[in-house]
Amino acid sequence: MRKKIVAGNWKMNNDLAATNTLISELIKKEKTANADVIIAPTFVNLLEASKRLKDSSIKVAAQNMHFANHGAYTGEISATMLKSVGVNTVILGHSERREFFSEDDNLLKQKVNKALDEDMQIIFCFGEKWEDRSIGKHFMVVESQIKNALFHIKNENWKSIVLAYEPVWAIGTGQTASPEQAQEMHAFIRNLVKENYNSTISEDVSILYGGSVTSENCKELLREEEIDGALVGGASLIASDFAAICRAAE
C-alpha cells in the first residue's frame, strides 16, 4: 500500500531559535494530519529537531549526505552521523544539489547505495528544466535521471524509496505544474517503475510532487490519482500553511 507523505524541505533556512519555534508550532498542529509528515531542517539543527520530535509522529530528514562512512571529506556528513542523531531519512538528488553543487547521476547512485546499505529511507528528487520541457524532452530527462541513479537497486530496496518529481521551473517560482502536468508525469514514472520492476513495486511506491506547492493549490494537486503527497519548500516554513498541506494529503 502506498503512503501519503508530506515532506518539508527547509533548505538553508531557520537558525536554532527559528527551528525550535517552528517545531513547537508543528507539534501543536500535528494531530490533524493522516499523512506521514517529515521535516528536513538544516544539518546543524537535526539533533535538536530529532530530540524535540522523539515522541511525535513527525519524522526528521536530512537534506543531503555523503556516500562514505567517514574520512577526509571536509564539510561533509555521513549516513552513520545522521543515524547517530536519530535521522533515518535523507533527501537525495535535489535540483539545487545538482545545479549548485554539481551532483550528477553517478554521485547520486553512490549516495543511494550508501543510504540503502544503512537502511535509510530515501526521498529521491528529479525533474526537468524548462528548456527540456519546452522542446518536449521532459519525459526523457526524468527517465534518465531515475534510471541512472536508481534502477540498479534490488526489488526489496524499493520499500526504502520515495520518489519526488520536482520540475526545476516550478521550484520557488510560484509557477506550479498544473495538476494535469504533474499527474501525467507521475503516471509516466509509475509506468517506468512497472516496466523495469513489477506492478506491485510500482503501485506501492509513493510519488510526491514538489515545486511551488502552497496551502491554496495543494488540494487540486493532491486530488490527482498518481500524486501521493508533496515535497514542500517555502510553504513548509510557515506552520499553518504546512499543516494545511498535510491535511490535504489524505
Complete DSSP assignment for 228-242: -EEEESGGGGSHHHH
Nearer to ligand 13P, 211 or 229 (CB): 211
In our burial notation (b when 16+ CB lie closer than 10 A, e otherwise), range 81-97 reads bbbebebbbbbbbbbbb
E runs forming strands in the chain: 5-9, 36-40, 59-62, 89-92, 121-126, 161-165, 207-210, 229-232
Q: Does 232 bind ligand 13P (CB under 6 A)?
A: yes
Question: Closest separation between CB of residue 7 and ligand 13P, Å?
Answer: 8
Active site residue 166: yes
Stretch that binds ligand 13P, among 16-24, 98-106, 190-198, 228-236 (CB under 6 A): 228-236
Torsional class of 229: left (φ above 0), alpha (ψ -120 to 50), beta (otherwise): left
Q: Is 167 in the site for ligand 13P (CB under 6 A)?
A: no
- 180: Cβ–Cβ under 8 A, 6 or more apart, which residues? none
Q: Which of 96, 103, 166, 226 is catalytic?
A: 166
State which of residues 213, 218, 221, 249 lies at the interface with ligand 13P (CB under 6 A): 213
Our answer to whether residue 94 is catalytic in this structure is yes
Q: Which is nearer to ligand 13P, 43 or 201 (CB)?
A: 43
Closest of 48, 41, 84, 37 to residue 62, by C-alpha:
41
CB 112 within 8 A of CB 156: no
Nearer to ligand 13P, 73 or 174 (CB): 174
Centroid of chain to Cα 202? 17
210 binding ligand 13P? (CB under 6 A): yes
User: Is 213 or 222 the residue whose CB approaches ligand 13P more closely?
Assistant: 213
How many residues does the structure list for the chain? Answer: 250
x/- binding map, residues 112-151, to ligand 13P, per CB under 6 A?
----------------------------------------
Give the C-alpha separation, 160 to 123, whole Å: 9
Q: Is 166 in the site for ligand 13P (CB under 6 A)?
A: yes
Largest alpha-carbon pair distance within the chain? 49
- Which region, judged by CB under 6 A, interacts with ligand 13P, from 23-31, 77-85, 136-144, 205-213? 205-213
Which CB, 67 or 126, lies closer to ligand 13P? 126
Which is the catalytic residue, given 94, 96, 128, 186?
A: 94
Picking from 173, 174, 193, 175, the residue whose alpha carbon sits closest to that of residue 185 is 193
- Work out whether 231 is an interface residue with ligand 13P (CB under 6 A): yes
- Catalytic residue numbers read 94, 166
In the complex, which residues of this chain contact ligand 13P (CB under 6 A)? 9, 94, 166, 171-172, 210-213, 231-235
